[in-house]
Amino acid sequence: MYTPSVADITAGAVTLTITASSAAPCSDATDAMVLNINRQATVNAGADATICETAGSYTLAGAVATHATAYLWTTSGTGNFNNATTLNPVYTPSAADIAAGTVTLTITASSAAPCVSASDAMVLDISRQAVVNAGADASICEGSAYTVSGATASYYSSILWTSSGTGVLSDETTLTPTYTPAVGETGVITLTLTATSDAPCTDATDQMTITITPAATVSAGADATICETGSYTLAWFSRCKRNFPALVNFRYRYFQ
């Protein structure tokens, strides 16, 4: 039995010669044969990886192999390779792969006969991109609180609402927070909903506005006393006539 050395294996072939000695006066006889030594293929599919569904595809750049005569990639899912017979193809997950959240990719490297094929696998995890909708804009009267309705979110690990106003935002980690305006707060307040995605996906945000309309205020003035034969001028009526003629005309017609 002949055991090749490392140098023999590296060379890929070795010549083995047999010599048979003859009885004198005959000469010796020799013959030789060539022993070819094929290399066993080795392969490594690369480290496991995680992508976001928005990436669209993944390049198997970490795969390495030696002494292979051919390659073939297969998937446990239903996605596709741009070229399954190359060492470093691009894999595009299918909708089913994305929904499952993971897929196993296996590479098989063929060896020259009589060596056997070698294979290795890596796991590609697929994170979902968070999606949010803060809901429709709303209007409230000054001094009223507003509870958000109609907000939606999916594929998130957590959510958080923030406000541009000076009021109080409660239940801000739910889809139905309540905004209570500060005393005297009016105008447009923006509420921002942020949904955190699993890495490596990015966070998603959306906004809605609350328009706070000032509440009407009025003062009839102090109580007064007149004689039945006299008349009385309402001071608030004079001020309103200067500043809000339409309102005063309405009130005047009404009381006529």
The pLDDT mean for the chain works out to 91
CA distances from 44 to 70, 85, 93, 97, 213 (A): 14, 15, 21, 23, 66
Other CB atoms closer than 10 Å to residue 35's CB: what's the count? 12
Residue 32 is inside which H or E element, if any?
Answer: strand 29-36
Same topology for domains 42-127 and 131-213, yes or no?
yes
Q: What is the mean pLDDT of residues 58-72?
A: 97
DSSP 149-160: -S-EEES-SEEE
CATH of 131-213, one of 3.40.50.300, 3.40.50.620, 1.10.760.10, 2.60.40.10: 2.60.40.10
- Statement: residue 88 has pLDDT above 60: yes
- Per domain, the residue ranges of the chain are 6-36, 42-127, 131-213
Q: Give percent above pLDDT 90 in the chain.
A: 83
CA gap 119, 245 in Å, rounded: 88
198: which 2 tokens? 């699993």
User: Residue 202 to residues 139, 176, 206, 223: CA-CA distances in angstroms?
Assistant: 31, 23, 13, 65
Could you say which of 3.40.50.300, 2.60.40.10, 2.60.120.10, 3.20.10.10 is the CATH number of the domain covering 42-127?
Answer: 2.60.40.10
**pLDDT tens, 126-170?**
999 999 999 999 999 999 999 999 999 999 999 999 999 999 999
For the question of whether the overall pTM of this predicted structure is more than 0.85, the answer is no
**Stronger pLDDT, 251 or 98, i.e. the higher one:** 98
